[in-house]
Chain A
Amino acid sequence: MTTATEAHRSPGERWRGVEGALLRLRRLVLLCALLPLALLAGLLPGLLAGAVWSLWALPPLAGAAWGWGALARNWRSWRYAERADDLLIAHGVQWRKTTVVPYGRMQLVEVTSGPLERRYGLARLQLHTAAATTDATVPGLTPAEAERLRDRLTELGEARSAGL
């Protein structure tokens, strides 16, 4: 995490990152998409038009190399903090976003986990408020942490519940 954002945090907030498995999962998806593409781009023109044309494999490979690092940076940027009255979610490296959702405003807390995420032992937590534009999702939690957070948020939400 960069020091610029570090300076803005008040000491009372305890930020948590997301699981390392999320990074592994995303890297796997990246490689599954780009390596076959690189192979195809290298082999087909190479066999049909001459060896030099297999250089077409380089752009996908370069993309994979860049994505490898970019995913790590993006993964490090994901974090959340439970404060006394609201939940903070921050992410983004180039386009930074921070969302603050007061507990009393939560209408629904959702935990989802797709087949691939389940294989990696991950779950995703999503908060819904009355505003559909609220963008509050935390990917890459362990199922236990997601459930703990869901139960705690639901409990806090009920205690502080406010109408529309």
Chain B
Amino acid sequence: MTVRSRLPQRPEGNRLHPITPWRRAWAPIAGLTAFAVQDFERTRGWFEELTVGWLILGFAAVIPAAAAYGFFSWWFTSYVVTDTELRIRTGLVFRRVAHIRLDRIQAVDVSRPLLARIAQVAKLKLDVVGTEAKDELAYLGEREAVALRAELLARAGGMAPDAAPEVGEAPARELLRVRSGTLIVGLLLLGGVWAALAAVLVIPTLIYLATESLWPTLAVALPLLGGVWASSIGRFLTEYDWTVAESPDGLRIDHGLLDRDHATVPPGRVQYVRISEPLLWRRRGWVRVELEIAGAAKGKGGVLLPVATREDAAGVLARVLPGVDLAAAAGAATPPPKRSRWCAPVRRCGYAHGVTGTVFVTRYGLLRRRTELVPHAKVQSVRFGQGPWQRRMRLANVSVDHGANGWAEARLRDEEEARALVAAQAERSRTGRREAGPERWLTGPAQ
């Protein structure tokens, strides 16, 4: 009997790249190592009792177990693309089949961490509404991942099922590329980076002076250093060579120096855009643009542009949200009435709110000024809120909830204006939805 026929029946469908088991095998070994490091004293105690024979026996048990785990989890993972959905089967003991409806796909990411790049494989991640974690296929061959992404997007966009598999990559037109110089200067002009650096220098020194012992100092310094790394060099590595391109599939975002990441956001999926202007960037007219789509993990909204001039950002934004003019949106925002100084004397200076034909605009923040845009078509509900003190001052807040689990709030507006705004916004989001593009963007406009 051959080995093959003894193996359990393999689910039908496409397989992941054969390199996947090696990545999976790391999990038990890493777990063992983490355990050994964490409980260092006891492990050393064990090692004193251990003989070479036992050690070899241990490894002889762990490594095949890890390899078997990796192999079988790879063996039982497969995916199938049908006309309407992507099915991913996983699970060694607990079988799981994820049916992902293609018309519900909000974004498709292809990420290639450094080691995967060396091995020429890639990870495909899907943002779908209603799932907590991103569903992912890891790993696929690089070419296979790109082809699958093109096929998924073509099918999701409503292309005829027969044509979809051969459609290939849609042509892309580059909109903007962030130069490394700009990125570095932008990072150096962020107060947060310097504050973190100062914290790393000051806090461990103080602790060392107080305790005169190295261990607590290191215990504090290491997480702080990690924070500095993440906010400066780590961020540079992620945001290096940031490219935004436009294609019929939607917006393409490519970035990364060591780990290359790619995201495709199909048209009409953007729920919310935030433009932030840190204090020291304002003189140069630089902005950072972040966007949120439904289904993305909460608080992990995507970045559209790490740093760009206002004009460039406006140009890209006009492609992301058709009909949105950044200058007009910023111009439409008006500050709250003067009497709001009795509610928030300092913060009110940053507040502003306005409405254009396509978006709901709010602004807040003193040092880092943030402008939030929510397209009328994406407004899920409108809320009016008023506290006791605000009622005395005849002021109120209006929030609009968007589909990416967040909201934008127009703060401290005049009460009459706020009530009118709630009514008008409900009306606008209704008409806005009618004019919005179809869910399947390659088909014609909605009937």
Contact = CB atoms under 8 A, between A and B. Distances in A.
Interface of A: 8, 10, 85-86, 94-102, 104-105, 129-136, 162-164
A134 B419 contact: no
B143 interface: no
Nearest to A163: B439
A36 B419 CA distance: 44
A98 B383 contact: yes
A46 B129 CA distance: 61
Given A95-B385, A101-B381, A85 B426 contact: yes
Interface SS, B side: mixed
B402 interface: yes
A99 B381 contact: yes
A131 B387 CA distance: 23
Contacts of A163: 436, 439
A102 B129 contact: no
A97 B422 CA distance: 12
Interface string B422-439: 110110011001001001
Interface string B65-84: 00000000000000000000
Given A131-B405, A134-B401, A97 B388 contact: no
Contacts of A101: 380-381
User: In the complex, which range does the number of interface residues on chain B fall in?
Assistant: 20 to 34
A8 B426 contact: no
Contacts of A131: 380-381, 401-407
A83 to B, nearest CB: 8
Contacts of A130: 129, 294, 380, 403
B381 A105 contact: yes
Contacts of A85: 426, 430
B114 to A, nearest CB: 35
B427 to A, nearest CB: 8
A41 to B, nearest CB: 30
Interface of B: 106, 129, 269, 271, 294, 378, 380-388, 391, 399, 401-407, 419, 422-423, 425-426, 429-430, 433, 436, 439
A98 B384 CA distance: 5
A157 to B, nearest CB: 13
Contact of A136 (B381, B386, B388): B381
Contacts of B388: 94-95
Contacts of A102: 381, 426, 429-430
Contact of A134 (B381, B386, B422, B425): B381
Contacts of B422: 98, 100
A25 to B, nearest CB: 26
A86 B405 CA distance: 20
A98 B271 CA distance: 23
B123 to A, nearest CB: 25
B10 to A, nearest CB: 36
A105 B425 CA distance: 14
Contacts of A134: 380-381, 383, 401
A30 to B, nearest CB: 22
Contact of A8 (B382, B402, B419, B433): B419
B401 A97 contact: no
Contacts of B439: 163
B382 A100 contact: yes
Given A129-B380, A129-B381, A94 B430 contact: no
A99 B382 contact: yes
Given A97-B383, A162-B436, 5 more contacts: A94-B387, A97-B386, A99-B383, A100-B381, A164-B271
A149 to B, nearest CB: 17
A164 B381 contact: no
A88 to B, nearest CB: 9
A136 B406 CA distance: 15
Contact of A96 (B129, B380, B385): B385
Contacts of A135: 383
A55 B404 CA distance: 53
B384 A97 contact: yes
A132 B403 CA distance: 8
A130 B402 CA distance: 8
